[in-house]
């Protein structure tokens, strides 16, 4: 049960990451189910079999609506849950900016084009993050996350767990040493050429981000600080505010 709980906790960070990566910004679009008028983002290539735990968001939204209906957006719930999840795992905290509103539509093509593929090289990763106003240091400080086995890089030196404690679910963690904690072992793995995904190992592969990875591997305090800063910056990506969008009653569908 603890392994399942930790995956759901980590998934709040993943959903916030996926929520803010497409060009539409941090607007709760990933939470929308498909409709007759649009195909949503849940089954986009980067999210299919990876973005999970939507039922947890449903439960949070239901509880919030019972107390203060029509006030807190689904986008803000994800931003807060991402922060709280990191804290629960032993990581840093940060002040979450609030006031985001929810999108009335979603775009699978935006998700496909906006979220960097696990096969990306370093230049592609830097370029994509830069287009969103994020630096190489923001790129370097991204968090460990669960990924489907089909994205794994070939690495005979790495012994991978069969199911990460989840029967019937073939997912892997980017840090097999301490998968249920927020720490800097992920970066130590990269230095030792033990990155799980091709895109992750690109961060330490003779390129411009090698020094960042080495620094985080040696200094967890620096990583924690930069991670919190990067999460704040990511949460600022093109949010809907004011009269734009809406405050959804149900995170899976528009009002």
Mean pLDDT of the chain: 79
Residue 66 vs residues 38, 54, 56, 59, 99: alpha-carbon distances, Å: 29, 19, 16, 11, 19
Q: Is the pLDDT of residue 145 over 80?
A: no
Tokens of 58: 């449903």
CATH 2.40.30.10 fits 2-235, yes or no: no
DSSP letters for 177-231: SSTTS-SSHHHHHHHTT--SBHHHHGGGSSSTTHHHHHHHHH-HHHHHHHHHHHH
Distance of CA 58 to the CA centre of its chain: 18
Per-domain residue ranges of the chain: 2-235
Q: Averaged over 243-249, what is the pLDDT?
A: 96
Nearest to 222 by CA among 235, 210, 209, 213: 213
How far is the C-alpha of 4 from the C-alpha of 252, rounded, in Å?
22
The residue ranking higher by pLDDT, 159 or 254, is 254
15-19, 44-48, 101-105, 248-252: least confidently modelled range: 15-19
CB 85, CB 9: distance < 8 Å: yes
Question: pLDDT band for position 5 (50/70/90)?
Answer: very low
Contact 47, 30 (CB under 8 A): yes
Query: pLDDT tens, 163-208?
Result: 444 444 445 555 556 666 788 888 998 999 988 888 889 999 999 9
Give the pair of three-digit tokens for residue 241: 């505010």
Ramachandran angles phi, psi of 246, nearest 5°: -160, 175
| Res 74: pLDDT | 94
Q: Are 106 and 245 in contact (CB under 8 A)?
A: no
Q: Is 150 helix (H, G, I), strand (E, B) or coil?
A: helix
Do residues 231 and 94 touch, judged by C-beta distance below 8 A?
A: yes
Q: Are 190 and 203 in contact (CB under 8 A)?
A: yes
* Residue 150 CB neighbour total at 10 angstroms: 10
């Amino acid at each position: 049960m603890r392994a399942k709980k930790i995956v759901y906790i980590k998934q709040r960070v993943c959903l916030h990451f996926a929520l803010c990566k497409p060009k539409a910004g941090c607007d709760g679009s990933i939470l929308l189910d498909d409709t007759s008028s649009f195909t949503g983002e849940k089954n986009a290539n980067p999210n299919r079999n990876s973005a999970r735990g939507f039922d947890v968001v449903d439960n949070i939204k239901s509880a919030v609506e019972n107390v203060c209906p029509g006030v807190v957006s689904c986008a803000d719930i994800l931003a807060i849950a991402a922060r709280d999840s990191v804290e629960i795992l032993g990581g840093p905290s940060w002040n979450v900016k609030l006031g985001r509103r929810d999108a009335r539509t979603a775009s699978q093509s935006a998700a496909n084009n906006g979220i960097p593929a696990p096969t990306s090289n370093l230049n592609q990763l830097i370029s994509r993050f830069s287009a969103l106003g994020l630096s190489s240091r923001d790129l370097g400080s991204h968090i460990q996350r669960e990924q489907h086995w089909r994205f794994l890089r070939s690495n005979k030196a790495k012994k991978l767990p069969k199911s990460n404690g989840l029967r019937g679910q073939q997912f892997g963690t980017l840090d097999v040493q301490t998968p249920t904690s927020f720490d800097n072992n992920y970066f130590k793995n990269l230095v030792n050429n033990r990155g799980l995904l091709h895109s992750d190992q690109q961060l330490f592969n003779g390129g411009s981000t090698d020094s960042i990875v080495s620094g985080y591997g040696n200094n967890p305090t620096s990583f924690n600080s930069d991670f919190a800063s990067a999460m704040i910056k990511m949460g600022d990506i093109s949010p809907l505010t004011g009269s734009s969008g809406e405050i959804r009653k149900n995170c899976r569908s528009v009002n």
